[in-house]
Structure 1
Amino acid sequence: MNSRMKRGALYCVLIIALMMLASCGKSAGNNSNQGANSNQAVSDEAASEETTEAAAEETTSEETTESEESQATRIYKDADGKEVEIPANPQRIVVLEYLGEALAVGAKPIGTAGYLIDAFAGKVDGIQDVGDVPVNLEKITAMNPDLIVSFDGGSDREDRPQLEKVAPFVSIAWNGTLYEHLRAMGDIVGKKDQAEQWIKDYEAKAQSAKEQISSVVPAGSTAVALGIFDKSFYAYEDRNIGHTLYHALGFTPTPKIKEMMEDGEASGAKEISLEVLPEYAKADYLFVMLYGDEKTVNQKYEDLKKMKMWTNIPAVKAGHVYVVGPEWFYYDALTLEWELDETVKMLTAKPE
């Protein structure tokens, strides 16, 4: 073999060797990258598992906290003086009284008394009728309430022992004021702040109402609310419509009404005879509430309007007599809020 051929052969061997080395280097690089990628995948999977576990632990912790909160209890001393263990955050409440207060603080009950269902038509969707006094104990039991709220009872709440076997039972003082009722309800259902906010909003609304009627109702004007029933007459103090007149709108009670308010014996209203009615009705503004058989009470009122004792009353002479229906007899947060609006409308419009 001549020297040229030898050099060509050597070049071929050298090229082949270089190609083989390059191939090995590339393979090693690939193997290194694959190893790194594999390690990264394992690391990512581990991190993902840790995140999932942390999320699961957090969810479990939240659920445990919510469960503990729903099961937490506290002791509440009610209007009957009984210390009752009640849920700290009740969810399934039955209110046998004070439905207006429960709704005002945002605690919609699952059941309430039948007459309240009728009184709050349009606001009671989803709330079951559990009867009046006595209530439907079997139905309430089936509803599985976690709290029952009513008025302080005596003989009017003889079913309390049976109701206490169904769920914690607490009472609110019947003779309390609107704000006392509202604050008690807020405390019982864990919504004190909502109760205070409602009071704040109501007082602002009352102030606005005073300003609206100031142009037509002279300062210091007296007002009286009378009730005409089938067989009786009633004068009202500062509950029911009286709260709207004296506390919200600032009317002055007449001497007879003031006596009722000070002695505290009337519990909101006092039955009076026809003979003494003019003494109680002697006011600048008169609100007449008709309650009972419609035909009977309307006729009774028509007969009264023909009597001289009636025509001599200052409010009658001035044309400041306003006739209202039985819905004005309720004494609760929502009714009084509605009543405030209605009273302003009547006073700023033409009287009867």
Structure 2
Amino acid sequence: MMKNKTYLAMLALLLLTLVLSACGSNSANEPASEEQETASQESNEEENITEPVEEEASGTVIYESELGPVEIPANPTRIVALTNAPNVLSLGGNLVGVDEWTEANPLFTEKLEGVTVVSEGNLESIASQTPDLIIAGSHMSNIEEYAKIAPTVVYTWGKLDYLDQQIEIGKLLNKEEEALNWVDDFKERTATIGNEIKAKYGDDVTVSVFEVADSGLYVYGDNWARGTEILYQAMKLEMPEKVKEDALGPGMYNLSLEVMPEYSGDFIVASRSLAGTADVMNTEIWNGLPAVQNNRVIEIEAKASSYSDPITLEYLLEIFTEGFLGQAE
């Protein structure tokens, strides 16, 4: 009788163990609770959000260039700029190669420290910089060869105005918003200064931009650097009629000293080498100009004024503001 009771107790304990084990197994295979599903989904969503951002940062995008779509790095880090290097600099682009003219400009000396000067005709000098983006001019003859080295974007000089060109470089470098913000701010500031100049000297005040050099004498229209875009386009100041006639269309006009008075406005911006005095400025004709006699000559360094990028424009705007508004009548 005792043996039977012991046997029955052991059997009951075994059955209880089997039941508990089955319950545990079923629990592990049951669908997750609503809270568990939500947590799992959030975790997966976070993973899905992170991955595309990483791909975008290190991947490529399609840039619509004037020669057609080009696949470029989303964020280029090794740029060779055979043209428009100052625009790239103004947006903080990482240049590894630039043209000799940009390198020789004193405004960019510090910013280009350690950057290699390359030549559009020397493919090896370009390839040795292992660029991930090349910016070239449409007039260059090796564009197809550049494209074999790295994605190449081409611009035609003068096809875009100076502000649209900056915006386009902003798109290229994934910094369009930064470029747009600068353009809006620059337009507002220059318009205000232009109105102040007109209020002080009259709405019809004129200004001429001359390149004064021993090698020649030139007068400029409204889109040939030397601050012409600021004076005529942004500030909307007037140019003398003779300048409109001969320089506005082609952009620049070579003239002789004898006819210089015909092209001289109420103000003169003289682009020259400030290291010395040009022979023109020692002549009776120069010293007889009303702008010279009235102390209305604003001198700018020629080498630092040959571009129309934000760095150059801000530099010239400061000089012009002081030249027009800082002097006493």
Cα distance in 1, alignment partners of residues 59 and 259 from structure 2:
57
From 161, 166, 190, the equivalent of 2:144 is 161
Partner deviation per Cα, 1:119-140 (whole Å, 9 max, x = no partner): 24366256622324435x3343
Partner deviation per Cα, 1:27-47 (whole Å, 9 max, x = no partner): xxxxxxxxxxxxxxxxxxxx9
Q: Is 1:86–1:147's contact at 8 Å kept on the other side of the alignment?
A: no
* 1:310/1:126 CA distance change after superposition, 3 Å: closer
1:320 aligned to 2:306?
no
Cα distance in 2, alignment partners of residues 172 and 329 from structure 1:
18
Provide the aligned length of Structure 1 versus Structure 2: 295
* 1:189/1:314 CA distance change after superposition, 3 Å: same
Aligned-pair CA distance for 1:345:
1.1
Q: Greater helix percent: which structure? A: 1
The answer for the alignment partner of 2:54 in structure 1 is 66
Moved more, 217-226 or 144-153: 144-153
* 1:57/1:199 CA distance change after superposition, 3 Å: closer
1:1-352 paired onto structure 2 within 5 Å: 58=46, 62-63=50-51, 65-67=53-55, 70-74=58-62, 76-78=64-66, 82-87=67-72, 89-92=74-77, 93-119=79-105, 120-121=107-108, 124=111, 128-135=115-122, 137-153=123-139, 157-176=140-159, 177-214=161-198, 216-239=200-223, 240=225, 241-260=227-246, 262=248, 264-265=249-250, 268-281=251-264, 283-291=265-273, 294-295=275-276, 298-304=277-283, 307=284, 309-326=285-302, 327-350=304-327
* 1:75/1:332 CA distance change after superposition, 3 Å: closer
* 1:302/1:65 CA distance change after superposition, 3 Å: closer
Q: Is 2:74–2:173's contact at 8 Å kept on the other side of the alignment?
A: yes
Structure 1, unaligned stretches of length 5 or more? 1-46
Q: From the CA coordinates, give the structure whose radius of gyration is larger.
A: 1
- What TM-score do you get using the length of structure 2 for normalisation? 0.75
Q: Which 4+ stretches in 1 moved above 4 angstroms? A: 51-61
Q: Is 1:84–1:168's contact at 8 Å kept on the other side of the alignment?
A: no
* 1:148/1:96 CA distance change after superposition, 3 Å: same
Cα distance in 2, alignment partners of residues 274 and 55 from structure 1:
77
RMSD over aligned CA atoms reads 3.7
* 1:68/1:133 CA distance change after superposition, 3 Å: closer
Partner deviation per Cα, 1:86-136 (whole Å, 9 max, x = no partner): 22614132222212322334434343223323424366256622324435x
The percent identity for this pair of structures is 22
Structure 2, unaligned stretches of length 5 or more? 1-34
Aligned-pair CA distance for 1:52:
11
* 1:269/1:86 CA distance change after superposition, 3 Å: farther
